[in-house]
Amino acid sequence: MGARERSSAGDPVRTLELLWREPGQGGSARGPKQRTTVDAVVDAALEIADGQGLAALTMRSVAAQLGLTPMATYTYVPGKAELLDLMLDTVYQRMTRHDLTGMPWRERVSTVAAENRALLAAHPWVAYVPTTRPPLGPGVAAKYDHELQAFDGLGLGDVDMDAALTHVLGFVTSVARIAIDTARAAAESGESDHEWWQRAAPLLERVFSADRYPLAARVGAAAGQAHNSAYSADHAYDFGLARLLDGLAALIETSSG
């Protein structure tokens, strides 16, 4: 990932102007008659990133997708940094958001976690883009406002609400990366985790001593048998979310008490 492949790495004023454009007003007033729109440029970029990853995303590849020259593409978006913010905000705008009204708080938090897990499964590249400076567009605003509802009315202070949400999203992203990396390893190697371990087993049996590493041998064997692999993203998600909810419950109890 390049140094500028993080959110808010481009010109902040121009990025915000693009992020908050009126729906349907995605073109540029500069130059000759416009052949496309900012929305179409973003859609083309998303198709490339979703299918091939961010490494394949360049202004040239987006231009080719749209049948434009690279220079023409720059009349819609100043560069890749600004384009990346538009892409992030767009997937945030389009992600599924369930009505949290009336749900118990654990169900609300679990729903928000599931929504984000689905987003990262559909757009794996999002899991690897640093967003410590989030693109402050309408998609980010709508996502943040929706997700804070999971913690509203529980007695938490505003700072704790923000921290609790950050904790949940960080957990979801970390587990999503396990699933993404597992899928990539299988695709690049042409063999599943189970097949890889089967191929490595004869050598491991010769060099690994269960007497020397008794806990690693016992626990690793149990986990491997349970997951048919060293890791299971589904198990990590279910186990981790339950522990996360228990920890939040302690915080909520303390705050409300």
pLDDT in tens, 129-151: 999 888 899 999 999 999 999 99
Stated pTM of the model? 0.88
Which two structure tokens, joined as six digits, stand for 225? 């048998």
pLDDT of 34 higher than 90: no
Average pLDDT over residues 208-222: 90
- CATH (one of 2.60.120.260, 1.10.10.10, 1.10.357.10, 1.25.40.10) for 97-256: 1.10.357.10
Domain ranges of the chain: 12-93, 97-256
Evaluate whether 87 touches 46 at the Cβ level (below 8 Å): yes
Q: Is the pLDDT confidence value at 158 over 70?
A: yes
- Confirm whether 12-93 and 97-256 share one CATH topology: no
Phi/psi region, residue 31 (left: phi>0; alpha: psi -120 to 50; beta: rest), is left
Does CATH place domain 12-93 in 1.10.3720.10? no
Indicate the pLDDT class of residue 196, thresholds 50, 70 and 90. Answer: confident
* Exposure on the CB side of residue 51, measured as CA atoms within 13 A: 9
Ranges 26-30, 111-115, 142-146, 234-238: which has the least confidence = 26-30
Tokens of 66: 């749209």
CB contact at 8 A, 83 and 42: yes
Res 24: pLDDT: 41
Residue with tokens 């902040």: 12
Share the mean pLDDT of the chain.
90
